[in-house]
Amino acid sequence: MLPKWSKEYSVHNFMIDEQHKKLFELANIADNMIGKQTNPLEIKQVLVALFDYMKTHFRDEEAYMESIQFPALETHREHHKEIVSEMTLLIKNMKYDFKQQLAIITEQWLVRHILQEDMRIGEYQQEMLEKKRAKENKELESENNILEDAFVESEHSAQSKPENNPTLNSTKAIQKDSVLHIYSCMCGKVYNISDPIHAQIQQGKKIYCKHCNTNITYINDMKV
């Protein structure tokens, strides 16, 4: 009895998972024929349908592996070629003992390949996602440190007028005739953002307040 597809076999890609479900379905249809009195022509038709779908799946799976830079792509591709080559030979020379050959295809090639080889794709994808999250968290922490160390922070609320803000006006780092880019956040902190950081924010970069962890919002510019 062949297993049925379940979430534990997911490779975390919708298209590939759906194709695996279909392959499991076809494999189980073929497996059910093994224990019954079935016309050899019907078995061959199922084999051909399974084979055609398998080739489509292999092509799509290889494209997906390439898109995520799966390190074992070439080895996996060679395994696909071996399966296609051997299955082509079996179908071409199929005359007797259809059921035994069907069992070989469904159990040894198809199901084992998915349960063993393809599962590594999902494991790799999850590993890459975890690394990406770790990198994003590190970048967020770095941005918070920049916000705390490099920006001039006012203890006044966002509603305070910049010209009445002694912290902003008395900052030695501010040169005469320069422009202050005033930002604030949900907790009411007011920030004087430098030109380079202001430009990055305007292009979509997110900078977060370390106190309330919300992204700072542009208020206005003030010429000094």
Q: Which two tokens stand for residue 2?
A: 């062949």
pTM of the model: 0.57
- If you ran DSSP here, which 8-state letter would residue 96 be given? S
* Domain spans, the chain: 5-128, 177-221
Task: Provide the β-strand partners of residue 192.
Answer: 152, 182
- Give dist(CA 60, CA 25) in Å, integer: 18
Name the CA dihedral angle for 92, 97, 102, 107, rounded to a multiple of 10 degrees.
-130
Query: From first to last of its 224 residues, what are the pLDDT tens digits of the chain?
Result: 677 788 888 888 899 999 988 888 887 887 777 667 767 777 778 778 888 888 999 999 999 999 999 999 999 999 889 888 887 877 777 665 666 666 777 776 677 788 788 889 988 988 888 888 887 777 666 655 555 544 444 433 333 444 443 333 333 344 555 678 888 887 778 888 888 888 888 888 888 887 777 888 888 887 76
The fourth-level CATH superfamily of domain 5-128 is Hemerythrin-like (1.20.120.50)
Q: In what order do the strands lie in the sheet with 179-184?
A: 152-154, 190-193, 179-184, 217-223
Residues 6+ positions from 222 with CB-CB distance below 8 Å: 162, 163, 168, 179, 180, 182
